[in-house]
Structure 1
Amino acid sequence: MIMENQTLAKLGNINEPYLGKTLKELDALSFADKLMTITLPYPAKGNEAAISQAIRQIIGEDSHSQIAFEYQIRPSARVSAEQPGLANIKNIIAVSSAKGGVGKSTVTANLALALQAEGAKVGVLDADLYGPSQAKMFGIDDLRPEINGDKIKPIKAHGIEIATIANHITREYTPLIWRGAQLDSALKTLLFNTEWPELDYLVIDMPPGTGDVQLTISQQIPVSGAVVVSTPQEIALLDAKKGLKMFHQVDVPVLGVVENMNMFICPKCGHEEHIFGHDGAQLMSLQYMVNFLGSLPLDKRIQEETDSGKPTVMAEPESKIALNFREIARKVASALYIQDSQAPVVPQTEEQLKAQSSNQKTIQWNI
């Protein structure tokens, strides 16, 4: 493809909105015959139309040039390929609320599906061991994983690779009466002994609170970044702030805050009501200088679709709610790239890796 220097300069000056850089600065443009390829470092299929339109305005709508997009998602400097069990995982995202009942697990499931819809390979680790819900939400609660020796094969649903203790429990109402050491062992088994395929992102559904499991995830698992979920309600925000501060204290970057249940929209008359207040999470993000990733409504369809094993992003991919989740996914992925580019982490030493992997005994699933 032959283009004038002036045209090339205009193409290079097109801004990529989520990264705040031009296509030239990202070295995103390449040409071959009549094919123009845009290569971005994070998944952004939902933004392809806008970038394509900007390109067409420069090269002309009648141009025979084809435009293609590729996504080259690089591994986080926090995740070492030398870490046992994590060789195929590029980035680990923890989704936390520090409080139950705010829709964290629902956000986790839909965020994973949204990242996949944007062009990434995604897995989910259900770390909420006392209240695992990802199996139900992905419709795999009746399945059992294949176990070979001390290796567990994740269960695939809707294209997402999933590891959850729920698939090892004989009955869904069986309680886990475990102390901290058993929880720690079970969590490490689920993460390090699962045979994860190549993943761009592993999304961890964190348990509520700031106890043993949260500290294990924050301190012993190389989390690339965290997403904090809250409702606008003040009591929920108090706990969300604790979770946010916990990540700061253990040096885990916070990628942003999601405000769930921001507004109830009456399905009959369309009246909008802020049942739990509004914009509290957005104000919290300003207070702590972290990204505000977006708001999600209190909508009966979200509950019905997750309960049926087909979360909204999969059940209604063109709905406003699904598109909101995809917008949040792009913000999360781009924020992860930006923070990793600005403050690269020195890879862990062999001694540190050995220390992390020590005592990772495989727990027996006799429950």
Structure 2
Amino acid sequence: MGICDDQQRVCLSLGLWNGQDEILKERFYGLSNAQGNHGEDVKEYWHYLDALPDGRYLRALYRYPMAAFPYQELRQRNSVPGPEIKLLDLGIFDQDRYWDVEVEYAKPEPTVVAGRITVTNRSGEAAQLHLLPQVWLRNTWSWNPPRSPQAQLHAEGAELHLQHPELAGYRLQVGGDFAWLVCDNETDNQLLFGAPGLSPYPKNAIGDAVVSGDPSRCNPERTGTKAAAHFIFELGPGESQVVRFIWSDRQGYAPGQVDGLCLDGRRAADNFYAAVSPDNGDADDLLIQRQAFAGLIWSQQYYQLEVARWLEGDPAGPPPPPERLTGRNAAWVGMEAADIIVMPDSWEYPWFASWDLAFHALALDPIDINLAKQQVLLLLQSRYLREDGQLPAYEWN
């Protein structure tokens, strides 16, 4: 439930820890085709509640169990023929032992993002939750020398400052009582490959620091390319807590304004959907339609694929196998994608599919005809078409 700029240079999202899991919850979990008996299948529960087509307002809800997430049990029980086993089937939500995590983003100006994260204890007992709004820079510096990043994040007080050649003056202002954890958006080569690491503070350092309780896993200088504001909440039954932040290159904004900015965004969404919805529509049907539109809008992602570069391999990694040069996409060396695309699904299909994109365009037409046209025309550009005029079907062809 994160966002990024239109070139995915800077990403904002959140991490969670219930005090029980072995890892930080930073992405939704699911099974691959090889792991499950139901194909690729996500095993989490989240809901896209609202969104404006231009992204000025976004709202979504995630339900995070208080007990240890049953990663291994889900893999084991879905590895044999039989009915699909869902997370709800394992009783992990019994007695309402879960957290509601609602995320809102509002944009009063193009370069200003107001964020609000509301966590609510839905159980009948007190519980602890670690909440981490996170910012990281997409690793583009590994592609070509010089390999060192040309951008940095540095935490000072309640602010995180960005130094970037293209995004000058941006900062994250966070309200409340928290601690900064900062590391580098670099793979932990020592952990994964037994090879020397590129940084003493790789990208899993924040998760390690939270789960182990040892903040020394992160950079004590609070400088790097990935950062998190670490909150720890003790909440009673039904109790809520709110985290507010502002990401902007402008002066005059502060976390204390977030509630008003989010309220303005929600009102703008109400007015927009009132104008595009039938006057005599059933209230429940209109809410379903509005959330369906929200799903389309939330599923927009930045997608980058340079086939020629992919065939040659990443300069920072080991060379690809020779058969790659004659395998899939070998005839598509001219394709260079770097665009915002409405994806079929933000988890299972985070890549374009031309047959689905045509249906997305039809569904988008009532709320944003220009976006609908742009999505169809995208596949007809020279950057996507093959020399013989063939359209790409999806990432594998």
TM-score (norm 2): 0.26
More strand by share: 2
TM-score, length of structure 1 as denominator length? 0.28
Structure having greater relative contact order (Cα 8 Å, sep ≥ 6): 1
More helix by share: 1
